[in-house]
Chain A
Amino acid sequence: MTTMDFYAEGNRPRRLAESFSPAMLGRALGEAFIKLNPQKLLGNPVILATELVAALATISAAVNVANGEGGGFAVAVALWLWATVLFANFAESIAEGRGKAAADSLRATRTTTKAKLIVDEKQGLIVPTPAHELGLNQVILVEAGDVIPVDGEIIEGVASVNEAAITGESAPVIRESGGDRSAVTGGTTVVSDWIKVRVTAQPGSTFLDRMIAMVEGADRRKTPNEIALAVLLAGLTLIFLIAAVTLLAFAAYSGIALDPVVLGALFVCLIPTTIGGLLSAVGIAGMDRLLKVNVLATSGRAVEAAGDVDTLLLDKTGTITFGNRMATEVVPVSGVRDEVALRAAIMASLGDETPEGRSIIELGRNTGIAAEAPVGGTVIPFSATTRLSGLDADGKSWRKGSVDAVLKLIGRPETELPAQFRQAVDRIARSGGTPLAVTEGGNLVGVIHLKDVVKPGVAARFAELRKMGLRTVMITGDNPVTAAAIAAEAGVDDFLAEATPEDKLRLIREEQGKGRLVAMCGDGANDAPALAQADVGVAMQTGAQAAREAGNMVDLDSDPTKVIEIVEVGKQMLITRGALTTFSIANDVAKYFAIIPALFMTVLPQLGALNVMGLSSPESAILSAVIFNALVIVALIPLALRGVKYRAVGAGALLSRNLLIYGLGGHVAPFIGIKIIDMILVALGLT
């Protein structure tokens, strides 16, 4: 059963990121108070400025109270300014909380059992050693029921391994020496058989350790766009500081003595506290949403880059077509009997461990022809570079592989080929299948037909991606004719046929040279250079260790279609950040109409004309604006965490929609909100 089938049955595995619980909310609230420490707010100038104003307002209010000048209003403003800071801290804590909970559950699976260290290979001498004392390149034995203590590579044996601790999926996977399925992860459990594992990671830097660090956000750094946004917000804070401070002079000129508490309230209302308070929560939530689809990003930068991706390199197999191509027939060339051709195909495939190779043997088994490798024969394993496999035994040689690779091998130009062979190749290729040439003793004997089925719904998905501005490029080892047939059926924008890992790397570099950002996914060790070169490289959890290290994301479900979701999560995070920034800045207009008349009305009653909201009194107007400013942070926490929904409708339509909601809405909402708060304050008799 493939991963895809597994999902199709509705068994989505346990998710790392759980939803909120009351305990989590309680913990976040506690942390909100801890974050009041100004040192922790240094990276957030807007909220730091708010805290400073809150402190000054508190002192001012305390002086008022001490002097017996009442001061209920000043106390209320000071309290709500503190609340603004707390709400911002709370937003960040709650976003972090989900990651922390996930990290805790991962930490619980870290093993404390002793590893079976092989000290003498020949005598099979085994010494129980604590996992944290294992060194690089030491070899350990892991048997059924054992937890694999560290990351490593299988050097001998085959075992089924339960990787639920990492992936959440309980169905065990096969891990074996050699090839791309040889990597094992610390914390997973061997269910059957045994393996010898060479240690590839120092304790403390294993995949599990890095995963815990990632989900916890321990080494979370600001992304480039976050830094730029923080600069903008700091700049706006300074601009409004200038406006507020100089207002003291202009008010004095106009014969108005401004209350510092009121001036502080004006300043806090004008600076972009909403986005300032929610900025880091949005970023953390972005990583978190990835975690929810079981993808680990090594950095927030990678998530941001995902939103920017222009070109998506998709492996045909598993992504565009269902799993593996299957051999359906072997067409003999004239003068060769069917079963001779079939047997040759089987012999040539004995060294081919790929699913396609196995499907040929399977085809033989179904037709009653089983083959065993002759003793003393030399198996030539399939490789992506040669695109061939074969067998040399008893003085005979069999080869099978992509048509042009085989022709190159036997040195026959295309023009001299038997007509029947050429027709078969063309027919198979035109139908979207893959023809493989089979030789016996250097002579062509037949063509294997590998069939490939395009997944339903793929074409619609690609049309959607096109609307998002993404170009899809299908990568396949197939010949150009086959590739073109499948590309047309699936509706990709372009394809790279007969692709070697070097071709992939070259394609990525070419795209990047044209100023495009490229995303790809891969699992093989030979994908590692391309994964490292791509702007977003998604490695499969089941893939080779080298691939997992080269990419900047790991898909725990090992689902190659996931890259599309990753792009959506990236876009969603950026949209959320932009929407909240726009909303926050748009809010200022209404706040002016609340506060400006309130500041000056006592001396310049004519400015009452600006009180368009009809707020009941200057004190109530200022307090309402401050309360709105604080509450809007809380109100927007769910949006910050959930994210603004991304719609694949093209940039123009998306912008006009979001501008309407967050730009226009940002202008209108505070007028309504401030008015309602003012009415409540009046109803409660607080002003």
Chain B
Amino acid sequence: MNWQGWAEIALTLGLALALGWPLGIFMSRVWNGETTWLDPVVKPVERAFYAASGVDPRKSQTWLGYGASLIAFNLAGFLLLYAMLRMQGVLPLNPQGFSGVSPDLAFNTAVSFVTNTNWQSYGGETTMSHFTQMVGLTVQNFVSAATGAAIAAALARAFAGNRLIGIGNFWADLIRTTLYVLLPLSIVLAIALMGMGVVQSLQASVTATTLEGASQTISVAPTASQLAIKQLGINGGGIFNANSAHPFENPTPLSNLVTAVAINVLGWAAFFAFGRTAIARKDIRALATAAIVILAAGAAIIYVSEAQPAPALVAAGIENPVNMEGKETRFGLASSAAWAAQTTGASNGSVNGMLDSFSPLGGGMTMLLMMLGEILPGGVGSGIAIMVVMAVLAVFVAGLMVGRTPEYLGKKIEAREIQFAMVALLIVPLSTLGWAALTVAVPGGLASLFNPGAHGLSELLYAFTSATANNGSAFGGISANVPWWNGALGMAMLMGRFVPIVAVLAIAGSIAAKPKLAPSAGTLPTSGTLFVGLLIGIIIILGALQYFPALALGPVVEHFQVLEALAK
């Protein structure tokens, strides 16, 4: 640990938050259908989409209509991607000559990219053709992020409105977020990344002559174009197996900083956009404060934990040992700590280190950050949406203590909201713990684990936590490309994605229809330090407590076992 390390963590986290603010204002204008400075270029394209699809962007949908459109669009996206993966062998842009993907891997991968998870049971450069990467996976990187943004836009409108029937138009939200926010930013970032040395090539590979004079074949791919949206859309699926630890995907400290900031920037932007659209900037700023506090604490714990000497090195009698195992050796420990916290707090599956080799507490922390519901700041829009659900629960539990029935942003919180908030909350442990427990129970389920004991349990828990949270990062230490794991992880991703989405939309529908109440001196203040503290408490108690028994058998006991080994 040194001050440079702390400064690097603070810079990456702070830069993303600071840039999220102006971007959020822009995003809110896009959600609200206001004019933007991109209109001269983008508006004609947007109109062309509406004309071609026959969508009337001004026609507000009920939550059921909105939800049905969303599900239909995602289902179509899944079927298309599944077909593309299966038929990869006969499709163009396949210089490597990869054949079609197996049914279980195709299911897992299609679900993974449609759900904004980007869990990869495969190695990109050895499995996927350029066509699949560009037309299949990258397209889903855009529209899955836009889907998440859409639910936040709908929920924000619901809170802003007074006795509304509709919550907006899904197609308009999808098209506008993609065209005005995701595409322009990705184009700029991709070009910048190419300038930093990120590969962008349609060739299969290049051949290099090594210092020893041997010939080496190195895979290349259209990386920069996918890398930009991989981070900005908070997806995380690397074009290469080594993800952002690969020098072609993350060549320099500058590219590391830029892509690390990109992991969180649109998550924060969605927070601020929500605040502006819902006409509740102060209240949403409190949510952002709670999120950054937990995220910073998580990053700090990981950094401190990873900075401890590895027990094996201590045992070997090495002086001042630095535990660099699993870290990004080019960029250092702090960079890996910040990256690990940022990605797990934000449902981004990219890695620049190997989490499996992290210390038990550091690795456990990344798991915990995901278990909290991917709200720190989470995916584009999906993060703030679930954060608002947590705020609703916080208001409901403690808000009664001011002597009024709970209300949030001027809307009464009643049985229907709580019902769906609980559905969104409950599905996460059901899927995470349920699939992990089933994997223990099914014959051969554990055969994929590389490690026994507590560490093996961490690997198992991490996989299903990552899938359910739609994070997509892998702890490692498992061979997941087998039918059971591909299937179970795919199911976990679906449950973790669409159940909360439907729940959030149902809440939006119910909230929209309610009258907007005027605040008074007796209304629970939902901005300010007190509420931030309350919210953090509720996030930890309602979001994490249910995992403690399982975690106790994984990272927690492993930590004490390591301490015990050290003491000997």
Contact residues of A with B, CB < 8 Å?
224-225, 227-229, 231-232, 234-236, 238-240, 242-254, 266, 270, 304, 307-308, 310, 466-471, 514-516, 570-572, 574-575, 577-579, 581-582, 585-586, 588-589, 592, 596, 599-600, 604, 606-607, 609-610, 646, 650-652, 654-656, 658-659, 662-663
Chain B, 330-384, CB within 8 A of any chain A CB: none
Contact A232 B446 (CB under 8 A): no
Residues of A within 8 A of B453 (CB): 254
Contact B525 A651 (CB under 8 A): yes
Residues of A within 8 A of B438 (CB): 249
Residues of A within 8 A of B522 (CB): 310, 468-470, 650-651
Residues of A within 8 A of B430 (CB): 242
Contact B401 A225 (CB under 8 A): no
CB distance from B547 to the nearest CB of A (A): 7
Residues of B within 8 A of A656 (CB): 530
Contact B436 A246 (CB under 8 A): yes
Contact A246 B550 (CB under 8 A): yes
Contact A466 B541 (CB under 8 A): no
Q: Is B557 an interface residue (CB 8 A)?
A: yes
Known contacts A225-B405, A238-B422; 12 further A-B pairs (Cβ under 8 A): A225-B400, A228-B396, A229-B396, A231-B415, A249-B440, A254-B557, A468-B403, A570-B403, A578-B398, A610-B556, A651-B523, A655-B534
Contact A468 B434 (CB under 8 A): no
Query: In the bound complex, how far is the Cα of B437 from the Cα of A252, in angstroms?
Result: 10
Query: In the bound complex, how far is the Cα of B424 from the Cα of A232, in angstroms?
Result: 12
Residues of A within 8 A of B557 (CB): 254, 600, 604, 606-607
CB distance from A599 to the nearest CB of B (A): 8
Contact A604 B521 (CB under 8 A): no
Contact A606 B398 (CB under 8 A): no
Q: Is B214 an interface residue (CB 8 A)?
A: no
CB distance from A264 to the nearest CB of B (A): 14
Residues of B within 8 A of A308 (CB): 404-405
Contact A581 B400 (CB under 8 A): yes
Chain B, 396-447, CB within 8 A of any chain A CB: 396-406, 410, 413-415, 417-419, 422-423, 425-426, 429-430, 433-434, 436-438, 440-441, 446
Residues of A within 8 A of B460 (CB): 253
Q: Which residue of A lies closest to B429 (CB)?
A: A242
Interface size on B, residues (CB 8 A): 71
Contact A659 B530 (CB under 8 A): yes
Residues of A within 8 A of B393 (CB): 232
Q: Which residue of A lies closest to B531 (CB)?
A: A655
Contact A596 B404 (CB under 8 A): no
Q: Is B491 an interface residue (CB 8 A)?
A: no
Residues of B within 8 A of A581 (CB): 397-398, 400
* Segment of B236-244, B492-500, B512-520 in the binding face: B512-520
**Given that A239-B425, A596-B548, A652-B530 are known contacts, is A469 also in contact with B521, CB under 8 Å in the complex?**
yes
Residues of B within 8 A of A239 (CB): 425-426, 429, 546
Contact B521 A651 (CB under 8 A): yes
Residues of B within 8 A of A229 (CB): 396, 418
A-B contact pairs, 24 of them (CB 8 A): A224-B414, A225-B400, A232-B396, A239-B429, A240-B546, A243-B549, A248-B437, A249-B440, A250-B554, A254-B553, A469-B404, A469-B520, A515-B516, A571-B403, A574-B405, A575-B400, A575-B403, A578-B401, A581-B400, A604-B557, A609-B560, A610-B556, A655-B530, A662-B401
Please report whether the interface of chain B is mostly helix, strand, loop or mixed according to DSSP: helix
Query: In the bound complex, how far is the Cα of B522 from the Cα of A575, in angstroms?
Result: 12
Contact B397 A232 (CB under 8 A): yes
**Given that A242-B430, A656-B530 are known contacts, is A515 also in contact with B400, CB under 8 Å in the complex?**
no
Q: Which residue of A lies closest to B515 (CB)?
A: A515
Among candidates B399, B437, B525, B561, residue contacting A249 with C-beta atoms closer than 8 Å = B437
- A-B complex: 3 closest residue pairs judged by Cβ atoms: A469-B522, A578-B400, A571-B403
Residues of A within 8 A of B414 (CB): 224-225, 227-228
Residues of B within 8 A of A607 (CB): 552, 556-557, 560
Among candidates B429, B434, B524, residue contacting A651 with C-beta atoms closer than 8 Å = B524
Contact B523 A469 (CB under 8 A): yes
Q: Which residue of A lies closest to B519 (CB)?
A: A469
Among candidates B401, B418, B454, B547, residue contacting A232 with C-beta atoms closer than 8 Å = B418
Contact B401 A652 (CB under 8 A): no
Q: Is B72 an interface residue (CB 8 A)?
A: no
Contact A231 B419 (CB under 8 A): yes
Contact A516 B433 (CB under 8 A): no
Q: Is B528 an interface residue (CB 8 A)?
A: yes
Residues of B within 8 A of A234 (CB): 422
Q: Which residue of A lies closest to B461 (CB)?
A: A250
Q: Which residue of A lies closest to B516 (CB)?
A: A515
Among candidates B402, B418, B419, B534, residue contacting A575 with C-beta atoms closer than 8 Å = B402
Q: Is B545 an interface residue (CB 8 A)?
A: yes
Q: Which residue of A lies closest to B517 (CB)?
A: A515
Among candidates B398, B406, B456, residue contacting A582 with C-beta atoms closer than 8 Å = B398
Q: Which residue of B lies closest to A516 (CB)?
A: B518
Contact B422 A253 (CB under 8 A): no
CB distance from A652 to the nearest CB of B (A): 5
Most chain B Cβ neighbours within 10 Å, of A250, A574, A609 = A250
Residues of A within 8 A of B418 (CB): 228-229, 231-232, 235
